[in-house]
Amino acid sequence: MAITVDIEATMGAQAFGTAVYSLEIPSIYFGITIGLTILIAVKASQQTVSIYMKTNSFFNLYVWMIWVLLIANLLQAIINWLFIRGDLLGTLGFFLVSCILWTLQTQLALQIIANRLGLVIIDKSRVKIMKISLLVIVGIINISVACIWIPARLTQMEPFVRINEIWDRMEKIIYLIVDLTLNAIFLRKVRRELIAGGLTKYWLLFNCNVAAVSVSLSMDILIIVMMSLPNPFLYAITHPVAYSVKLVIEMLMADLISTIARQPHQLLSRSDV
């Protein structure tokens, strides 16, 4: 009787395998997210002040995106942690909020990368088309996931569960490919249009971005791997960690670009590059 009542009262903890999967791993990821959130908040504050000093305005798209993504990561970490602990029930409202926060994460993370890519693309009309295309494509994926994931979690009906298991992995692979493509284009632009043009100071940016891409993609792979654990919801707790790491990377890249851009040019001929 006590066991039955406990299970009914704590949907977040049921069918999640052994205790190590339901508590210890989420606790580690939650702690990492909180630590990263503090670091990101400090860096975001510094960048916000710096941008305000230059523009005398807080209406900067980059600034808004990093703060909204920061808040989305923190909120997702909190509600997922409470759900796994059993403090929140798996209601329609809970899963809907989870989907909204995940949508903000996927949209903003890619738009921040696109914003960085836009710095090395001369034709700004192409940048606008790229950003709108990302918004639409990722938006379609977000809607499709919500239409499958929420019913699968709420009803546990076999058709929805099976479709969700397949599509949930597929959309994460698609996201990984889009992430990789955007960064590959950025690297290609830096290599062929800046470094090959004699601006050797951008080698540092190129090399750092290669390392950053490796870390960023490893976060996407981590989420996919976590989906194979016995806990059917455990992978969700890795989302705020993964997107916090991605945000840290993008903020560091923004600082690096700003620093390198202020350095004096070191021109070499193409044959020397």
pLDDT at 84: 86
Q: Is 181 exposed, middle or buried (0-12, 13-18, 19+ CB in 10 A)?
A: exposed
2-272 CATH choice from 1.10.12, 2.40.50, 1.20.1070, 3.40.1180? 1.20.1070
User: Torsions phi, psi of 265, nearest 5?
Assistant: -70, 140
Mean pLDDT of 235-240: 89
* Residue range 264-273: mean pLDDT, rounded: 46
Q: Which position has the higher pLDDT, 239 or 263?
A: 239
Span 130-148, mean pLDDT? Answer: 95
Higher pLDDT, 172 or 266: 172
* pLDDT band for position 266 (cuts 50, 70, 90): low
Based on the number of CB atoms within 10 Å of its own CB, is 52 exposed (0-12), middle (13-18) or buried (19 or more)?
Answer: middle
Q: 232 pLDDT band (50/70/90 cuts)? A: low
Q: Is the pLDDT of residue 15 over 70?
A: no
Q: Measuring CA to CA, how many Å separate 15 from each of 1, 21, 153, 234?
A: 17, 10, 12, 11
Give me the chain's average pLDDT, please: 86
Q: What is the pLDDT of residue 158?
A: 87
Distance CA 128, CA 132 (A): 6
pLDDT at residue 216, rounded to an integer: 92
Q: Is residue 219 very low, low, confident or very high in pLDDT (cuts 50, 70, 90)?
A: very high
Residue 267 in this model has a pLDDT that exceeds 80: no
Does pLDDT of 4 surpass 50?
no
The answer to pTM > 0.75 is yes
Cβ atoms of 107 and 138 closer than 8 Å: yes
d(CA 48, CA 183): 24
Q: For residue 179, name the pLDDT band (cuts at 50, 70, 90).
A: very high
Cα–Cα dist 222/242, whole Å: 8
> What are 100-127's pLDDT values in tens digits?
999 999 999 999 999 999 988 888 899 9
The pLDDT of residue 151:
92
